[in-house]
Amino acid sequence: MARGKTSRFPSGGTSKMPRPRAFDYMCTKDKSPIEEVKSNKSNFGKEGSSNPSESKNNLSGMFHCSKLYTKITCLAIPLRIQSSQVSNKESCKGSIKMPRDVNNLTSVSQLSNLSGSTSPQRTNAAKGSTRVNKTTLISQFENKKKQLRKLEDELILKKSLVTDSYNILVELKKRLEESGVTNIELNELKLEVLPTNCEPNLVETMTDVINNIPSTLVETCKSVMNKRVLLLNTLDNFSKNKLPQEELQKSVKTYKEDTVTIEKLVNDQFKEQQDRVKDLVEKWVLLVKNSGDTANILNQVDELKEKLKEEEEKLASTTNTLRQALQDCEMYEKKCNQADANDSRLREKLEQLEQELKTQKDSTLSQRDKSSNFEQQKKLLKMQIQELERKCKESETKQNELQKNYKHAQDQLKTNEQRWMKEREEMISKGKHDKQLLEKLTKDRSCFETRVKSLEEYIADIDNTQKIAEDKLKKELEETRNLAVEEKVKRDTLQQKYEHVQSKLIQMEVRNNQAVDIVKTRNTFEPNEVVRIATEREAELYTDLLATRVALKAAEEKLQSYEREKMRFLDTIESLHAEKYSNESILLLQNVQKLTELENLISEKDEVIYRQQVEITGLTAEVENLNLKLSVPESGDTSLEESELKRMLYEGTEKLENMIKKSSENEQRAISFQYELNKRTKQLYDMENLLKARDGLITVLKAKKDELQLENSSFNNYADQIRTLLIQTREEVKTKNDLLQAMTTNLSKKQCEHEEQEKIIKQLECSLSIANEKRFKLQDAMGAMEKELQSTIAHTGNTWYDSVNFIRIMYHVLGNSPYLHGNMYFYLIILHKYVRPSSYRSSIHLRRPSHALPTH
């Protein structure tokens, strides 16, 4: 479509557009007939020589038919020759050549007029003379015939000279008007011709012929438009996938055959219209010759001219419609070819996609079969798992019952053990107590009397000692009260001293923080030297240092805010690239203003940092001077230890080094920010240059746009039609693209589903493997339990073996729990010791696990 458009009509970049032929006719409406003949002759010759390919076209034939019709009718109109316009034969022979077409068309009327003017006089003379010889009559006839031929030749020459001179004058007038001269008057050329005999209904037949001319053209136009509508319907159906490609090819073949038939019809109608026009011209000549009154003839001529103009307008409109219809047919043929190519390409793609879909369907079917098999296996496994779970639940219930019985037995054993131990201890204690009582009774009997005496003496001594101790304790209480009061006083004094020392330590911290620069200047430290520094000056220096620290922190925070603003500014610059040119200039100006403000702020902050650095250097110099001046230590500071002073100085040096590092880092950040700002300013300058170049291009494009708007005013309707066709084709392409996208999305979805199914299959396989492992473990456990149960059933007679087997079963059932294994170990020891004799102990071989826990 784009190629056809550019080949038939020039693009917007060209300065000149091809002039349509219908406008040539529109420009010649207000001209005289001879000017129309001249222009039509020149156009006819140019068309026949320059465009041989257009002679094959049907529409060019119709256009030539209309031009010949206008040319012949205008030449057949009688022209009045004025006396001032007729010149001598000898003066005009060499300068002007005689045209062929005018001689051929006007010679008939001149001969008829001359014959009409001379023959009546000759007949009247012949009637007057009765006795005339044949020879004299023949000689007179031949002489008159010769004179008539001479007069005819002279008239033809004069008429041709007059028409040529008039045409030359008309061309000169046109050139003068083009050059700017508009005050030139030129009268129309009118030739009077004597009337001849004509038919009575000649005018009616001529009007009928004129009225019948556009009807055939309208019928052809209607047929062409019907074909166009049918072709549009077929294209719509094909775009909506209602028609297959074979039917479309058949319809294209039929349309090609119809175009051939339409071309034949147009050629036949062209020939018919030529014949009709010739008949009309001949009848028109007869009418003009036979009309007596010149005024009526001129009125009729004007009316017929208007009718002819109307008919010519109709013919021009019909020819334009036919031309547009044929061009549309050609464009539709091209579109059909393009659609066929696109359809073949799309069908190939669809076949490929269908093959891929088939393969994917096969794969999905196989996967579905696999998934169905897996689902069946899964169902079977679920059934097996449910059965195993049911069995496990039953075994768990049995196990719980056994655990309950085991716990009950343990509790009974514990209670029995406790009862037995208590009874044993009670018996032992009773025997010992009885023995002691017997011994005591025997001893007490012997010593009771002596002890009573000694006790009485001892009681008396104890009373004395208690009195003495009470007196001592009272004295000690009074002393302790006094000591408490004294210690309170001491504590208050110590607290005051502590507060005083703390204030001094704070002052020393201030001094040491201020003396960090002195420590840096001194490479060696003398521990016995205690520097005396003026406290007021040091406090001022410390306050200045704190102020500088606060200012540095504020500068760091502002630099961070500037970084954020810079990132926002970069984001705005990046967003500018995606917006229109009109908004870009405004936003760039705003961003340039922001950049200038940021640069000013950064320069101010750099000045502040520089001032702070200068102040820090001044403070360090003042501290050094004070260090040099002060050499005697203060009296209150002598009590502090040198180690504390060293530690405080070391901390102060570390703090000052950290502050210097931070200041250097801030300087580096400021330098990096300035570098980035310079880069951004360069980018902005480049963007400004690009915008200037774009403005120049926009002005050039605006000028070209104005020229193109002036030149393309006549082609707006056709452009609208082409736009509609383009919109339709784009919609068709969009629909096809949507179909392709839907197919691709379906394929991607199916691929995703395939991957998900594969994942599900893998998960199912993993779950199957896990379930199989659990099943095998459970089977092993159940087999072991069944064997042990069988063994227990076989040994039901002996209670000891029953208890032992019960313990073994519980040991196997409990699994890998270390706490339960430890408890089982201790319970088995108790049973092993106290329940059965040593003859049965060898049947159970106990091994304490490493992770066994003691029971309480």
Contact 565, 677 (CB under 8 A): no
Q: At residue 80, what are phi and psi to the nearest 5 degrees?
A: -85, 125
DSSP 8-state assignment for residue 632: S
CA nearest neighbour of 329 among 260, 265, 398, 271: 260
Span 151-176, average pLDDT: 82
Span 587-610, average pLDDT: 66
Contact 562, 672 (CB under 8 A): no
Span 48-58, average pLDDT: 39
pLDDT digits (tens, 9 = 90+) for 724-742: 777 887 788 788 778 878 8
The pLDDT, as a whole number, for residue 709 is: 72
List residues bridging with 80 in a β-sheet. 190, 191
Contact 243, 232 (CB under 8 A): no
Report the alpha-carbon distance of residue 808 to residue 614 in Å, rounded.
90
List residues bridging with 257 in a β-sheet. none
Report the alpha-carbon distance of residue 805 to residue 789 in Å, rounded.
9
CA nearest neighbour of 690 among 591, 588, 590: 588
Q: Is the pLDDT of residue 581 over 50?
A: no
Q: Is the pLDDT of residue 822 over 50?
A: no
38 CB-near residues (< 8 Å, 6+ apart): 167, 170, 171
Which amino acid is present at 63? F
The pLDDT, as a whole number, for residue 22 is: 39
Contact 662, 556 (CB under 8 A): yes
214 CB-near residues (< 8 Å, 6+ apart): 311, 314, 315, 318
Contact 118, 148 (CB under 8 A): yes
Residue bearing the bigger pLDDT, 455 or 141: 141
Q: Which two tokens stand for residue 283?
A: 């009848």
- Of 406-420, 453-467, 812-826, which one has max mean pLDDT? 406-420
CA 806 to chain CA centroid, Å, is: 76
Task: Give CA separation, 445 vs 29, 437, 448, 450, 452, in Å.
Answer: 174, 12, 5, 10, 11
Helix axes 33-50, 58-76, angle to 10 degrees: 150
Q: Which residue has the tokens 């075994």?
A: 395
The pLDDT, as a whole number, for residue 183 is: 74
Span 750-771, average pLDDT: 83
Which amino acid is present at 262? I
**Least confident among 261-275, 278-292, 436-450, 565-579:** 565-579
Q: At residue 358, what are phi and psi to the nearest 5 degrees?
A: -60, -45
Q: Is the pLDDT of residue 664 over 50?
A: yes
CA nearest neighbour of 527 among 644, 656, 655: 644
Report the alpha-carbon distance of residue 55 to residue 44 in Å, rounded.
12
Span 132-145, average pLDDT: 81
Q: Which two tokens stand for residue 195?
A: 């009337």
Q: What is the DSSP string of 256-292?
A: HHHHHHHHHHHHHHHHHHHHHHHHHHHHHHHHHHH--
pLDDT digits (tens, 9 = 90+) for 473-506: 778 777 777 776 777 777 677 667 667 766 666 6
Q: Is the pLDDT of residue 853 over 50?
A: no
Domain ranges within the chain, ordered by starting residue: 84-183, 517-713, 775-843
CA nearest neighbour of 79 among 209, 169, 166: 166
CA Rg, the chain, in Å? 65
Position 462 confidence tier, pLDDT thresholds 50, 70, 90: confident
**Least confident among 27-41, 761-775, 808-822:** 27-41
For the chain, the straight-line distance linking the first and the last C-alpha, in angstroms and rounded, comes to 99
Residue bearing the bigger pLDDT, 139 or 193: 139
Report the alpha-carbon distance of residue 93 to residue 160 in Å, rounded.
10
Span 634-640, average pLDDT: 44
Report the alpha-carbon distance of residue 406 to residue 628 in Å, rounded.
93
The pLDDT, as a whole number, for residue 275 is: 78
Q: Is the pLDDT of residue 307 over 70?
A: yes
Span 153-170, average pLDDT: 82
Largest CA distance in the chain: 233
Which amino acid is present at 201? N
The pLDDT, as a whole number, for residue 623 is: 61
Q: Which two tokens stand for residue 105?
A: 């068309």
Report the alpha-carbon distance of residue 481 to residue 485 in Å, rounded.
6
Q: What whole-number percentage of the chain has pLDDT above 70?
A: 51
CA nearest neighbour of 538 among 518, 519, 512, 505: 512
The pLDDT, as a whole number, for residue 310 is: 80
List residues bridging with 114 in a β-sheet. none
The pLDDT, as a whole number, for residue 104 is: 38
CA nearest neighbour of 10 among 700, 699, 714, 696: 714
Q: At residue 290, what are phi and psi to the nearest 5 degrees?
A: -85, -10
Buried b (16+ CB within 10 A) or exposed e, 826-855: ebbeebbeeebeeeeeeeeeeeeeeebeee
Report the alpha-carbon distance of residue 439 to residue 432 in Å, rounded.
11
Report the alpha-carbon distance of residue 301 to residue 291 in Å, rounded.
11
Q: Is the pLDDT of residue 135 over 50?
A: yes
Which amino acid is present at 483? L
- What is the length of the chain? 856
Report the alpha-carbon distance of residue 157 to residue 716 in Å, rounded.
50
CB atoms within 10 A of CB 606: 17
CA nearest neighbour of 553 among 506, 651, 561: 561
78 CB-near residues (< 8 Å, 6+ apart): 109, 190, 191, 192, 193, 288, 297
| 3-state helix, strand and coil shares in percent for the chain, rounded to the nearest 5 | 85, 0, 15
Task: Name the 3-class secondary structure at 154.
Answer: helix
Q: Which two tokens stand for residue 27?
A: 């420009």
Contact 229, 117 (CB under 8 A): no
pLDDT digits (tens, 9 = 90+) for 501-558: 666 666 666 666 666 656 555 544 444 444 444 445 555 666 666 666 666 666 667 6
The pLDDT, as a whole number, for residue 569 is: 61
The pLDDT, as a whole number, for residue 647 is: 72
The pLDDT, as a whole number, for residue 232 is: 81
Q: Which two tokens stand for residue 564?
A: 């954020």
Contact 839, 832 (CB under 8 A): no
Task: Give CA separation, 854 vs 407, 409, 567, 806, in Å.
Answer: 17, 19, 68, 22
459-463 own/partner pairs: CB under 8 Å, 24+ apart: none
679 CB-near residues (< 8 Å, 6+ apart): none
Residue bearing the bigger pLDDT, 846 or 462: 462
Span 299-304, average pLDDT: 69
Average pLDDT taken over every residue of the chain: 65
- Of 272-281, 393-402, 678-687, which one has max mean pLDDT? 393-402
Contact 294, 190 (CB under 8 A): no
Report the alpha-carbon distance of residue 69 to residue 62 in Å, rounded.
11
Task: Name the 3-class secondary structure at 16.
Answer: coil
